């Protein structure tokens, strides 16, 4: 979003478990956390997206009027993302993942993606509206973490993502498994 809005943000890849400074910025110790705003540190991706949208009100990140289908789609995208993150946590859990929990998360992801596929006409041509950016980021994340399995079940989203991935904003921000660039201390600016 920042890239699409022409807002220069410095992105820092951190290890959330090691970064000592993180809890001073976000007591939940989660990323993303946007630091050094005039309003202090902001956290939760939804809050950060709304904040960035407010900085570029003419960019078309949000619909012109309250749109409950749009809001529900954002919640769907965030919910699938949360399930993907939880799945990743379950897969890497020692001494082993719970098959029942994995099945529940996989079902949530599958049903969520089926809904997004059905609704793709509602957002496919709306770039850079937030639901379109969110959908592209979500699909890129799922591909990065879980693999290509979703593409057969969501052919329209699959073709759409291939086109979106060519865009400079996606090229610059795709999930790559980048290693932390900071130590446990926050970089000084
Ligand atoms: N609702 C939060 C979720 C954030 C979240 O789950 N972040 C994950 C990485 S994608 C995290 O920081 N995990 C570290 C942990 O669980 O300790 C948001 O949308 O910002």
**Per-residue model confidence as pLDDT tens for the chain (189 residues):** 999 999 999 999 999 999 999 999 999 999 999 999 999 999 999 999 999 999 999 999 999 999 999 999 999 999 999 999 999 999 999 998 899 999 999 999 999 999 999 999 999 999 999 999 999 999 999 999 998 899 999 999 999 999 999 999 999 999 887 777 656 777 655
Task: Look at ligand 1, atom 16, and give the residue with the nearest C-alpha.
Answer: 30
Of the options 3.90.105.20, 3.30.750.24, 1.20.1050.10, 3.40.1260.10, the CATH number for the domain spanning 68-171:
1.20.1050.10
Pocket test for ligand 1, best of 27, 28, 31 (most atoms within 8 A of CB): 31
Q: Are 115 and 76 in contact (CB under 8 A)?
A: yes
Residue-range domain boundaries for the chain: 68-171
Name the pTM for this structure. Answer: 0.93
Ligand 1 pocket list (CB less than 6 A): 16, 29-32, 44-46, 78, 85
Cβ neighbors of 61 (< 8 A, separation 6 or more) are 1, 4, 5, 49, 52, 53, 128, 129, 130, 133
């Amino acid at each position: 979003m920042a890239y699409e809005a022409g807002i220069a943000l410095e992105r820092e890849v951190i290890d959330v478990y090691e970064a000592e400074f993180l809890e001073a910025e976000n007591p939940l110790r989660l990323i993303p956390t946007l630091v050094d705003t005039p309003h202090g540190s902001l956290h939760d991706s939804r809050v950060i997206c709304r904040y960035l949208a407010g900085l570029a009100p003419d960019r078309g990140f949000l619909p012109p009027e309250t749109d409950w289908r749009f809001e529900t789609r954002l919640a769907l995208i965030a919910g699938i993302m949360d399930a993907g993150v939880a799945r990743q946590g379950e897969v890497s859990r020692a001494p082993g993942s719970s098959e029942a929990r994995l099945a529940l998360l996989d079902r949530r992801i599958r049903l969520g993606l089926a809904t997004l596929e059905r609704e793709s006409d509602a957002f496919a041509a709306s770039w850079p509206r937030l639901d379109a950016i969110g959908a592209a980021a979500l699909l890129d994340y799922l591909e990065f973490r879980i693999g290509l399995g979703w593409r057969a079940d969501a052919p329209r989203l699959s073709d759409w993502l291939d086109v979106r991935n060519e865009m400079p904003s996606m090229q610059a921000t795709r999930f790559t498994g980048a290693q932390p660039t900071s130590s446990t201390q926050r970089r000084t600016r």
